[in-house]
């Protein structure tokens, strides 16, 4: 592939041909709707594709990809557009936007859902909860299932039911040479292994088939928040909670800011089982470190649990996130978290979110590497005033650097930088196999706007 500056010009006749061939829409710069369609969740990303192909079906995906390859144009693929790194946008290339493909079909008897790649967590939960079923997805329901699942997919059900990718039964995808293939444990098993954590490196997924589990409609969850001077005590209490937690309980500790901007130390959780047992396990945390500032821990519907964080992450604001998996929440790690959290005073919203891993995650297979990590840490800088950018990015980078001696590598879906230097650390001992599979399925690195695994030579 040529570099972006060398890319061929696309003339109007060719674009007209693609328009005629597609059921969905094709948009070019200056057309009505183009500016809206090129935007992604992270407002720091401001890219202008040469054309946006809003695909309506698999054939559209094949045609748009074929067009990009034929014209030697970079390819960006968009599911829900929530890539923090902005990988679902590009300058001068073809954006293959799957946002029109939003159908979820549920087979309640066999507990299987088939979802198109433009589906969000909210779409999926709405369809599956009608049958009292669910599978692991992220904790903000506006996020796309596509990028989330392909990178692993951590969320409230993960300790009980594994990562989102562990619940995949099969995937249909369009490979770099335009073929539609199925990957599952029976068909193309190597490719299926790579798709469970390997991100968008191997093709454009047009359908995800997930295993479902009985969940809800009511769970015990929500969050409880304490004053910032209790940060250390909250982290200690959280460590105790997680060390004893059964697999039904997934919990996070967050050094963050309340909606009014005041700093808080919170514990958020979801018990994916009998709500009475959830209450028994979680209610003591309400009094672990004195009176809470906010007590929103209690019974709620699973749909509420899945969407209660949405308001904190609207589209268009500015973000820079980092992450690291941890073997343990040691006293030294807690020291760092307490020290780095002292900068939290919104705006901007600087957050340290510890996510309890373990449980069923260890039993999964696939490219997702850090299955035996005890915790994942999200270091999230979020701001609305461009003047805050340098300070926010520096805070996140310095925090990640301070934690480097404790880190096992980052989580691919939270990593923000395009340089790719973190990718070997993300995949650890899976990296060599992934590179070999990349050479097999995408030798020319057509799918490179992602946390890129370069083909093995």
Q: Which residues bind ligand FAD (CB under 6 A)?
A: 41, 77-84, 87-88, 98, 117, 138-140, 143-144, 146-148, 150-155, 199-200, 204-205, 313, 413-414, 449-450
Least separation in angstroms between CB 245 and ligand FAD: 18
Q: Which among 309, 317, 363 is positioned nearest to 155, based on CA atoms?
A: 309
Least separation in angstroms between CB 361 and ligand FAD: 12
Inter-CA distances, 425 with 62, 202, 408, Å: 33, 19, 7
Q: How many CB atoms lie within 10 A of CB 443?
A: 12
Q: Give the containing element (helix H, strand E) for 254.
A: strand 249-257
User: Is it true that the peptide bond before 215 is cis, omega within 30 degrees of 0?
Assistant: no
Least separation in angstroms between CB 386 and ligand FAD: 19
Inter-CA distances, 53 with 27, 62, 188, Å: 7, 11, 28
Q: What are phi and psi of 27, to 5 degrees?
A: -125, 140
Residue number, 34 or 313, with CB nearest to ligand FAD: 313
Residues facing 326 on adjacent strands = 375, 407
Residue number, 10 or 378, with CB nearest to ligand FAD: 378
Q: In 3-state terms, what secondary structure has residue 132?
A: coil
Strands of the 94-97 sheet, one edge to the other: 25-27, 51-54, 94-97, 75-78
Residue number, 150 or 288, with CB nearest to ligand FAD: 150
Residue number, 256 or 292, with CB nearest to ligand FAD: 256
Least separation in angstroms between CB 85 and ligand FAD: 8
Count how many residues are written for the chain.
457
Residue number, 338 or 446, with CB nearest to ligand FAD: 446
Residue number, 143 or 407, with CB nearest to ligand FAD: 143
The DSSP 8-state label assigned to residue 135 in this structure reads -
Residue number, 147 or 222, with CB nearest to ligand FAD: 147
First vs last Cα of the chain: how many Å apart? Answer: 16
């Amino acid at each position: 592939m040529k570099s972006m500056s060398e890319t061929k010009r696309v003339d109007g006749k060719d674009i007209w041909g693609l328009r005629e061939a597609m059921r969905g829409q094709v948009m070019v710069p200056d057309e009505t709707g183009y500016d809206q369609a090129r935007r992604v969740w992270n407002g720091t990303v401001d890219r202008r594709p040469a054309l946006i192909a809003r695909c309506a079906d698999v054939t559209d995906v094949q045609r748009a990809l074929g067009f990009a390859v034929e014209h030697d144009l970079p390819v960006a693929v968009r599911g829900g557009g929530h890539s923090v790194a902005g990988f679902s946008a590009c300058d001068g290339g073809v954006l293959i936007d799957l946002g029109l493909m939003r159908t979820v079909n549920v087979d309640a008897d066999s507990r299987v859902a088939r979802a198109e790649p433009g589906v969000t967590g909210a779409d999926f939960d709405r369809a599956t909860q009608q049958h009292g079923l669910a599978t692991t997805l992220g904790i903000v329901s506006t996020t796309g299932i596509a990028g989330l699942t392909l990178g692993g997919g951590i969320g409230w059900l993960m300790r009980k039911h594994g990562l989102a990718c562990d619940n995949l039964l099969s995937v249909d995808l369009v490979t770099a040479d335009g073929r539609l293939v199925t990957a599952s444990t029976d068909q193309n098993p190597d490719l299926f292994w790579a798709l469970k954590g390997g991100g968008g490196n191997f093709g454009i997924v047009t359908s995800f088939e997930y295993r479902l589990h009985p969940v809800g409609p009511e769970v015990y969850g929500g969050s409880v928040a304490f004053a910032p001077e209790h940060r250390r005590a909250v982290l200690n209490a959280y460590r105790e909670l997680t060390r004893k937690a059964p697999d039904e309980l997934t919990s996070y500790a967050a050094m963050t800011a309340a909606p009014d901007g005041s700093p808080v130390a919170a514990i958020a959780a979801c018990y994916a089982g009998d709500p009475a047992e959830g209450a028994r396990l979680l209610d003591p945390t309400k009094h672990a470190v004195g009176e809470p500032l906010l007590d929103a821990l209690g019974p709620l519907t699973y749909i509420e649990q899945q969407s209660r964080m949405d308001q904190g992450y609207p589209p268009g604001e500015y973000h820079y996130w980092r992450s690291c998996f941890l073997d343990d929440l040691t006293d030294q790690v807690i020291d760092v978290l307490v020290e780095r959290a002292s900068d939290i005073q919104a705006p901007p919203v600087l957050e340290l979110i510890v996510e309890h891993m373990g449980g069923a995650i260890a039993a999964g297979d696939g490219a997702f590497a850090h299955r035996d990590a005890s915790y994942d840490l999200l270091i999230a800088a979020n701001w609305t005033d461009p003047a805050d950018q340098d300070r926010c990015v520096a805070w996140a980078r310095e925090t990640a650097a301070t934690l480097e001696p404790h880190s096992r590598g980052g989580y691919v879906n939270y990593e923000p930088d395009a340089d790719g230097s973190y990718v070997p650390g993300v995949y650890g001992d899976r990296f060599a196999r992934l590179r070999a599979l990349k050479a097999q399925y995408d030798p020319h690195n057509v799918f490179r706007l992602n946390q890129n695994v370069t083909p093995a030579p």
